[in-house]
Structure 1
Amino acid sequence: MKLPRVRELLGRPEALTRPAPPADLQGRARPDRAMTIVEAVTDKYLRVLTAYDYDPTVAGHNPDAAMTLVATERTIVAENENVAALTFAAVDGGDLPAWQPGCHLDFHLPSGRRRQYSLCGDPADRRHYRIAVRAIPDGGGGSIEMHGLAPGTTVTVRGPRNGFPFVAAGSALFVAGGIGITPIIAMVRAARRAGMDWQFVYSGRSRESMPFLDEIATWDPARVFVRPDDEFGLPSADDLLGRAPVGGAVYCCGPTPMLDAVRGGFAATGACALHFERFGPPPVLGGSPFEVQLVSTGEVLEVPADESALEVIKERLPGVGYSCRQGFCGTCKVRVLAGTPDHRETRLTPQERVDHMLVCVSRADGGRLILDL
């Protein structure tokens, strides 16, 4: 699953009286003030560490370190949607860095594109990473390139990173839409192994378009609801959240309409935390129109209030670098030569923000930005 990533947590007052569920499947707990300070100091410390050569003999794997992996297997797992499961291994056949449900990998493709895909294999298998990719013919080209990685092909990868963590405790409802199954299936496996009280709702266009149904068919049918649109119609919030556990968590990954329905209906459930991950760009909220000038061409482009600078720029410069479109991967970082950005990400350091911005989410408060593009 391509990983574009905006996470939110919707909490309820009663959650204050019980341990907060982990921020997984679209959600992040309200930060404790003291912990916010600790996290800020820790983040600054880690940035200093990763600015230097990393020595894996001193500490664990650095997700910013590049790995060369080789594709070992390619299997079509949903014919109608052309979803391919791809398996990768270390070139020397050795162990790979550990990962947990919710983790993703950053693929640096031969074309220069960077794409993120969720791991959907078995964390106990230290020799292989498995992902699933749906080919999108009219997309940005990354999924088509991934489908072309035949066994024996090597690729540069960074990670694993976990922007969608899962803790196997308490009770939970897992909701997946289409290719959003990729992070969810690893979570449900972990919940089953841990003996959690879990429920699972899986939506898609048709059964033929939904990956991993063979495995899901072996799970407890009392806990599983597979609802293809062509059989049940488009799902409502009640359809998706009817199994939400009182006092538990809801984890959701899928297309924007599904996320909107789940977010809109969550307050009516008895669950205390919502965790979700989107695989498309988030809507622009509270935006104002502004201009960007491209130094390479001198063109001045108008960015509407409801569009990102990236969307406008790539209409003129189709080769501009981008990946997640959510402000976390850093691929679309550009130098700002004039103007003041409205930074809407947490990726850049204060020093980087002085003269750089991520054009996928950051904006300007009116006026014009001159960009080194």
Structure 2
Amino acid sequence: MQTKLINLSGSLTVYFTKLKKVVRHNKKVSTLYFDLRITSYPGQFVMLYLPGYEEIPLSLSSPNSVTVKAVGETTQALVKAHEGLSIGLRGAFGNPFSPSDKALIIAGGIGIAPMKYLYEFLKKCGAEVRMIYGEKSKEDLIWLDEFEELAITTEDGTAGIKGTVLEAVKKEDLSKYSRIYACGGEGMLEALYIVLKKAGVLHKAEFSLERYMRCGIGVCGSCVIENGMRVCTDGPVFPATVIGNL
């Protein structure tokens, strides 16, 4: 049972709910399923509050889940969370990915979280979708059975192509896709930007950026990027052509 609270201005809604299920993928990554379904689209995020910890932004991996990697105190606590744990949620916030009929999805590391949501959404819409998914090692890969058209890369060569997602991207005929989506670390996105620009397909690409956010609604300015845009409200999904230098 969840409780919905609306603030005095009526502009923000906070949900207090419980975790319905927790899937521990490995030592560092878990998917947390809420006891409610967030009205949202792929690429959007929520602000999640765990009592005793700071509120943090997390991309939705489905309308009723987030997938978390342990990188700090709050995320470490969430990865170890258990069913029945009470949390607070605000959102969904931000601009989502746009639809397409023939898509290439590129995910690096925990960037797979919003991309799984996108993959499932596009497939339900009847789109043709190919995935490229890269991790450091085989043990870090998750959801491999969830994708039909999948190319895997690992930096240590323990699964798929040895190297980063760029190695797989370079093998693709990028001209055949109507949209190219990417989410991952900034180093990956910067390198991918160059590859797509040289291939003449940058205009087809949408990048989901990760930034530290305190408010999630464009007030605090903590997520402003080099071009002055705010990741929380102008993104987190941007046309690759407007990104420039991250």
Task: Report the TM-score, using the length of structure 2 for normalisation.
Answer: 0.76
5+ residue gaps, structure 1, are 1-49, 55-61, 91-95, 124-128, 282-322, 335-341, 349-373
5+ residue gaps, structure 2, are 1-5, 233-246
Instruction: Report the counterpart of residue 163 of structure 2 in structure 1.
Output: 234
1:287-326 per-position Cα deviation (integer Å, ceiling 9, x unaligned): xxxxxxxxxxxxxxxxxxxxxxxxxxxxxxxxxxxx438x
1:223-245 per-position Cα deviation (integer Å, ceiling 9, x unaligned): 32112222233226453254224
**Of 183, 189, 192, which residue of structure 1 is paired with 2:120?**
189
1:37-91 per-position Cα deviation (integer Å, ceiling 9, x unaligned): xxxxxxxxxxxxx98542xxxxxxx5x21110111211111x2x5211111114x
Letter in 2 for 1:210: L
Instruction: Report the counterpart of residue 88 of structure 1 in structure 2.
Output: 34
Listed as ranges, the matches of 1:264-283 within 5 Å are 264-271=194-201, 272-279=203-210, 281=211
Instruction: Report the counterpart of residue 299 of structure 1 in structure 2.
Output: none
Q: Structure 1 residues 239, 148: closer, same or farther in 2, change over 3 A?
A: closer
Instruction: Report the counterpart of residue 70 of structure 2 in structure 1.
Output: 135
Q: Structure 1 residues 347, 117: closer, same or farther in 2, change over 3 A?
A: closer
Task: Report the TM-score, using the length of structure 1 for normalisation.
Answer: 0.52
Instruction: Report the counterpart of residue 108 of structure 2 in structure 1.
Output: 177
Secondary structure at 1:264 match in 2: helix
Matched, 1:66 2:14: yes
**Residue 344 of structure 1: how far off its partner (Å):** 3.8
Q: Structure 1 residues 247, 76: closer, same or farther in 2, change over 3 A?
A: closer
Instruction: Report the counterpart of residue 209 of structure 1 in structure 2.
Output: 140
Structure 2 contact 43–208 (Cα < 8 Å) conserved: no
CA distance in 1, matches of 2:91, 2:111: 19
Aligned-pair identity in percent equals 21
CA distance in 2, matches of 1:346, 1:83: 27
CA RMSD of aligned residues (A): 3.0
Q: Tell me which structure has the larger Cα radius of gyration.
A: 1
CA distance in 1, matches of 2:227, 2:136: 37
Instruction: Report the counterpart of residue 43 of structure 2 in structure 1.
Output: 102
Letter in 1 for 2:78: M
CA distance in 2, matches of 1:256, 1:248: 23
Q: Which runs of 4+ in 1 moved over 3 A?
A: 50-53, 327-334, 342-348
CA distance in 2, matches of 1:215, 1:98: 23
Letter in 2 for 1:240: V
